[in-house]
Amino acid sequence: MWLPWDYAAVIAAVLAVAAFATHHSPEPRARRSAPVLRELTILFTLYALWQLAGRLSVLKIDGAIDAGRWIWEFQQRIGLPDEAAWQAAVLDHPIIVQAANIYYGGAHVPAMGVFLVWLFFRHREHYARWRTTLALLTAGCLLIQLYPVAPPRFLPDLGFVDTGELYGQSVYASFGSTVAGQLQAMPSLHAGWAILIAWAAIEVSPHRWRWATLLHPVLTLLVIVVTGNHFWLDAIAALAVMLVAMGGQRIARRWRRSAADELEDPARAVLDHQNPISVDG
């Protein structure tokens, strides 16, 4: 069961107060817990915004079906595989379909939680950059998702099946009272988060088993397609948002270094003028 956005917002507020209190605590042990509480505040805030964006998009359902149909037709024109055909290939295998439903509903948020805990405690020097990437990716996707797009399972006339409803495993409530927004199809945060986890793990970890994390985005991509929850373009759009987020951070880091160098050069010139070095001894 997804945590409602208002519950997540309350938890984020409590964590923010606790982070502030521990940061200013006279006890060293309490101050050491402040960074953890601060990061938890950020994550619960992002989660609350994700859920809230789903409710906002549900309020604007006009055109969502047409938008989903347009994506399918565009994919056909550019030669991407038909998701309905991929789904049809597994519909006669109930165990595979039910496993895909479980993975779709159960791996998304827990995988990100495990990844962030691992990154924070094992590779703290890389944590801030990837947490910022996650925040930018999520915010960018949520902004785009305010324009509602129906997922494939809302288009049965094109051959799609809602496998969650088929086996009673849907993570969504009845339409219009959803917890996780059913029209947050474009871009796919499922795909975006899974790609980020694998990319970051491969980059920061020296262990040879880090390549096994590629299984998560591959399985996620297959699962979101065969369950009828996303188009291929939903995943491609999420990857594009993440690349923009990473590129923006790189540009910002270069700008900060350039600005720091410009400030440092005049200061160095002043010091050299005040302390000239005699070449005559």
Helices (H), the chain: 5-23, 28-58, 64-78, 83-90, 94-106, 108-122, 124-145, 163-166, 189-204, 215-226, 232-274
In this prediction, residue 173 carries a pLDDT of 54
Q: Are residues 40 and 152 in the same domain?
A: no
Of 13, 29, 59, which closes a domain? 59
In this prediction, residue 253 carries a pLDDT of 84
Higher pLDDT: 194 or 255? It is: 194
Q: Are residues 113 and 184 in the same domain?
A: yes
Q: Is the pLDDT of residue 74 over 80?
A: yes
Q: Are residues 164 and 223 in the same domain?
A: yes
Residue 277 domain flag: no
Average pLDDT over residues 205-234: 95
Average pLDDT over residues 262-278: 57
Coil, strand or helix at 279? coil
Higher pLDDT: 274 or 113? It is: 113
In this prediction, residue 6 carries a pLDDT of 79
Looking at every residue in the chain, the average pLDDT score rounds to 85
- How many CA atoms, within 13 angstroms, populate the side-chain half-sphere of residue 58? 17
Residue 66 domain flag: yes
Average pLDDT over residues 23-45: 83
Q: Are residues 50 and 76 in the same domain?
A: no
Q: For residue 139, which of 221, 244, 21 has the smallest C-alpha distance?
A: 244
Q: Are residues 118 and 50 in the same domain?
A: no
Residue 281 domain flag: no
For 87-137, what is each residue's pLDDT tens digit? 999 999 999 999 999 999 889 889 998 999 999 989 989 998 999 999 999
Q: What is the percentage of the chain residues whose pLDDT exceeds 90?
A: 49
Q: Are residues 17 and 78 in the same domain?
A: no
Q: How many domains does the chain have?
A: 2
Residue 128 domain flag: yes
Residue span of the structural domain in which 256 resides: 62-271
Residue 279 domain flag: no
Residue 280 domain flag: no
Higher pLDDT: 203 or 60? It is: 203
Of 41-55, 61-75, 236-250, least confident by mean pLDDT is 41-55
Q: Is the pLDDT of residue 175 over 50?
A: no
